[in-house]
Amino acid sequence: MLDIATRIARLRRPKLLVNAARFGLDDYVRSQHLKRLLKTEILPRPAPAVMQLLDIESIMDEARKTKQATYSVACHVEVLIVLMAETQNLRASSYPT
């Protein structure tokens, strides 16, 4: 089993998806977006959130690669936005100021 940092470092996605997600980072609201994606009322800490998001994103990327009819670029970008934001939260919480 890979740790969080290794899984994040190994992510390779099309540049267009990544750039689109970067544009959405400024509008990220944890209490809204994370709750909706994880389908929970209680917000998890950044590490468990990132693990769940990595699993969700992996499923979406497989759907993209296999050209499944259920694949949605917009949903994939949304997951990447939340994943990027939560990764930033995780890194910030790992380095106390």
pLDDT tens track for 54-90? 999 999 999 999 999 999 999 999 999 999 999 999 8
User: Which residue is listed with tokens 């890979």?
Assistant: 2
Q: What is the pLDDT of residue 5?
A: 80
Q: Domains in the chain: how many in total? A: 1
Phi, psi of 10 (to 5 degrees): -85, -5
Domain membership of residue 33 as a residue range: 4-94
User: Could you say which DSSP state residue 27 is in?
Assistant: G
Look at residue 96 and tell me whether its pLDDT is greater than 60.
no
Q: How far apart are CA 82 and CA 50, in angstroms?
A: 9
Q: Which two tokens stand for residue 97?
A: 């100021």
- Please spell the DSSP secondary structure of 71-83, one letter per residue: --HHHHHHHHHHH
User: Sorting pLDDT into bands at 50, 70 and 90, what band is 95?
Assistant: low
- For the entire predicted model, the pTM comes to 0.89
- What are 5-55's pLDDT values in tens digits? 888 888 899 999 999 999 999 999 999 999 999 999 999 999 999 999 999
